[in-house]
A = this chain, B = another copy of it.
Amino acid sequence: MPSIILPALAALALPAPQADDANLRVAAQRDAALDDDYAYAITEAITTELGPRLAGTAEEARARKWAVATLTKMGFSNVHDEPFPLRTWVRGTEKAMVVGANSQPLALTALGNSGATPEAGLEGEIVFFPTLDDLKEAPDGSLAGKIAFVSHAMTRTQDGSQYGYYGAVRRQGPAIAAAKGAAAILIRSVGTDSHRMPHAGSTVFPEGTAPIPAAALAIPDAEQLERLIGRGPVRVALTLTPRILGTQTSGNVIAEVPGRDPAAGIVVVACHLDSWDLGTGAIDDAAGCGIVAAAAKRIMDAGRPRRTIRILWAGSEEVGVFGGRAYFEAHKGDNHVLAAESDFGADRIWRLDTNFAPANKPLADRLAAALAPLGISAGREAARGGADVAALISAGVAGVDLQQDGTRYFDLHHTPDDTLDKVDPAQLRQNVAAWTAMLAIVADAPEPISATK
């Protein structure tokens, strides 16, 4: 770089006259967070000490108790557990074998809400559907006594946007197969890896549809089954014995950084504490809980913000966003001015989306300017929030989405492989820095904050 331009750069570095001090304070807090250890320590403790935390189980209850103790020790105010009842599904035995000349085991896992086979299993011929649309077109009754197999394949994207489209196989496929008389359904896992790790996740049987056994094959096993089908008819023996434990207790854990000005409203930052039962829920979503708590603590430690920051570590997200619903029902009357959630792993944030009203363009611009040095650009999508705050945002609360890089998220999502070793501490710190900057700005913004209509 020619030294002649150095004076010009120095001039550019001079702070703008008005926003000067606030901007420098935000930048200093942001940059200090790049050395944050809290988020990793929380992620490590949740995954190590608590392990899997399936909604409605004793393990989730243990996690809530730990969460109340930990958030209290960190210095937050008003830390408490808000319990709610949950119809609780738990996994049983799960086993599948191709039978006949090519007999061999297949790796799979039951989908949440799956029905059970008899204890001794069931056996049926596989009927193959390359896509969910193909399954939809199967004639009524054509699957009687058979096992449907849908092998819709998603691929990696940075924004994870294929999950909506391909995830329909898991959400809707089992109910469609049940309506057509299938004895059971197998789907290719909704994931992007090539490991023998089935991806769990909930399915939905509407009122009046009796649940059938429904499971996700690991991706190599789905491909194996496709190759076998290419050679001729295939029969599979399937044993899945999940059961409903009845109504158990789940709950949301809440903690606050009280604001100076009660009339200025509440900024809620969320994650979910429950996890699927196969892994230890590191990227989904211990890391998110670490990120939001670490960022809120940085704001708290820097002095009281104008607005209250409320941390929501939700329960029962994985099994149907029951924590988010319970929070919304209990708190929709609270004066929420902004909601955000970290629930897309632990990899770096690359894009900022908001749903701000036009009057809040200066606020959006301040956020963009503060995040740009972290490699984050302003996006063009309207913020919708993570699942646990989506109801608030749908109801008109302003939202900020700090979009994480999801390129490898669906390699790990809902698998046994969602463990601490997958968390990159450097990327995790970048998340904390971005959340810290965002909170520093929105919690202290002098102007009102509102969503676009």
In whole angstroms, how far apart are the Cα atoms of A139 and B182 in the complex? 61
Total count of chain A residues near the partner, CB < 8 A: 34
Say yes or no: A44-B227 contact (C-beta < 8 A), given A51-B102, A104-B51, A105-B52: yes
In whole angstroms, how far apart are the Cα atoms of A408 and B168 in the complex? 34
Residue with the greatest number of chain B CB neighbours at <10 A, chosen from A197, A224, A231, A419: A419
Which residue of chain B has its CB nearest to the CB of A419? Answer: B220
- Chain B residues with CB under 8 Å of A51's CB are 98, 102-105
Q: How many copies does the complex hold?
A: 2
CB contacts under 8 Å to B, within A35-73, are 44, 47-52, 59
Decide: B44 and A224 in contact? CB cutoff 8 A: no
Interface string of A19-49 (1 = CB under 8 A from B): 0000000000000000000000000100111
Residue with the greatest number of chain B CB neighbours at <10 A, chosen from A47, A49, A194, A195: A195
Decide: A421 and B227 in contact? CB cutoff 8 A: no
In whole angstroms, how far apart are the Cα atoms of A194 and B228 in the complex? 30
Contact of A223 among B98, B105, B197, B421 (CB under 8 A): B421
In whole angstroms, how far apart are the Cα atoms of A104 and B59 in the complex? 9
With an 8 A cutoff between CB atoms, is A280 at the interface? yes
With an 8 A cutoff between CB atoms, is A80 at the interface? no
In whole angstroms, how far apart are the Cα atoms of A48 and B232 in the complex? 13
Say yes or no: A228-B417 contact (C-beta < 8 A), given A279-B196, A280-B104: no
With an 8 A cutoff between CB atoms, is A422 at the interface? yes
Decide: A220 and B420 in contact? CB cutoff 8 A: yes
Interface string of A96-138 (1 = CB under 8 A from B): 0010011111010000000000000000000000000000000
Contact of A416 among B44, B50, B107, B228 (CB under 8 A): B107
Contact of A224 among B48, B98, B219 (CB under 8 A): B48
In whole angstroms, how far apart are the Cα atoms of A419 and B48 in the complex? 30
Decide: A227 and B102 in contact? CB cutoff 8 A: no
- Chain B residues with CB under 8 Å of A44's CB are 227
Residue with the greatest number of chain B CB neighbours at <10 A, chosen from A104, A196, A231, A279: A196
Contact of A50 among B50, B59, B102, B196 (CB under 8 A): B102
Decide: A196 and B194 in contact? CB cutoff 8 A: no
CB contacts under 8 Å to B, within A197-220, are 197, 219-220
In whole angstroms, how far apart are the Cα atoms of A102 and B52 in the complex? 10
- Chain B residues with CB under 8 Å of A104's CB are 50-52, 59, 280
In whole angstroms, how far apart are the Cα atoms of A228 and B45 in the complex? 10
- Chain B residues with CB under 8 Å of A103's CB are 51, 59
- Chain B residues with CB under 8 Å of A220's CB are 417, 419-421
CB contacts under 8 Å to B, within A157-194, are 194
Q: Which residues of A contact B (CB under 8 A)?
A: 44, 47-52, 59, 98, 101-105, 107, 194-197, 219-220, 223-224, 227-228, 231, 279-280, 416-417, 419-422
Given contact pairs A219-B421, A224-B280, a sample of 14 additional A-B residue pairs in the complex whose CB atoms are under 8 Å apart = A47-B224, A49-B228, A49-B231, A50-B102, A51-B98, A52-B104, A52-B105, A59-B103, A104-B280, A195-B197, A196-B416, A223-B420, A224-B419, A227-B420
